[in-house]
Structure 1
Amino acid sequence: MKITELIARILLGLSMTIFGLNKFLNFIPMGEMPEAEANLMGAFAASGFMFPAIALVEIIGGVLLLTNRMIGLALVILAPIIVNILLVHLFLAPAGLAIALVQVALIGILFYAHKEKFYPMISLKG
């Protein structure tokens, strides 16, 4: 499990860091989007804060994973982003669904590998 965890941590850390940086630097061109996805991304851009906020969380979470620091925190802050990536590709842009499923699998592996860190969060005892 150690090697699987290491690979998952590095792959997810790299993808989050790279795609987070891309939101600021645009070094990976975005292809054509279906209209529904383009409308959602347009709304995010029009807000003026969503893309920078998402990008910062992706970069911070990715760097934490790559440096093997505060893994529990990294997973907790990245989970909502990955769930939204999955939902966007599931309902609005199915062409990217495979990549979203890989990210879900990677974070799932990491949550399982670090499950003991999350027991206090889900304990029924106060």
Structure 2
Amino acid sequence: MKIVKLILCLLFGLMFINAGLNKFLNYMPVPEMPEDIMKIMGAFMTISWLMPLIGAIEILGGLLFAIPKTRALGAIVILPVMVGIILHNSYFMPSGLAIALPLFAINLWIIADNWNKYKPMISEPTA
């Protein structure tokens, strides 16, 4: 089971590193999208700092997620991006859920697996 987790986390991390780098280098072709989605993407592009910010978070989160020692932090860093991906695909591109849902499940699995590391941040301090 440990090797399965390692492989899944490496692939997860690499996918997000790739997605983040693409936001800066634009090396992947953009697939055909309906006009309403193109309008949304155009709106995102008018906010000049948004895509670089998301790309930087994807790269950082992917790197942290791929390294076992920092995986718990990477899972939390990448979680808001994953939620955005799930919501976007749910409303605009349901076909993308075939990839997004398993990735979200991996993210939640790693968060659950590292829950004890997060407890000090959310527990009441003892005086």
TM-score normalized by structure 2?
0.88
Cα deviations across residues 11-39 of structure 1 (Å, max 9, x unaligned)? 21011001111111122111012333222
How far, CA to CA, are the matches of 1:8 and 1:110 in structure 2? 10
CA RMSD of aligned residues (A): 1.5
Q: Gaps (5+ residues) in structure 2?
A: none
Q: Which structure's CA Rg is the greater one?
A: 2
How far, CA to CA, are the matches of 1:112 and 1:4 in structure 2? 16
TM-score normalized by structure 1?
0.89
Alpha-carbon distance change, 94 to 3 in structure 1, aligned in 2, over 3 angstroms: same
Q: Which deviates more, 79-88 or 5-14?
A: 5-14
Quick one: percent identity of the two aligned structures? 39
2:54 equivalent in structure 1: 54
Of structures 1 and 2, the one scoring higher in RCO (CA 8 A, sep 6+) is: 1
Matched residues, number:
125
Q: Gaps (5+ residues) in structure 1?
A: none
Contact 1:79 1:107 in 2 (8 A): yes
Alpha-carbon distance, 1:55 to partner = 0.2
Contact 2:89 2:96 in 1 (8 A): yes
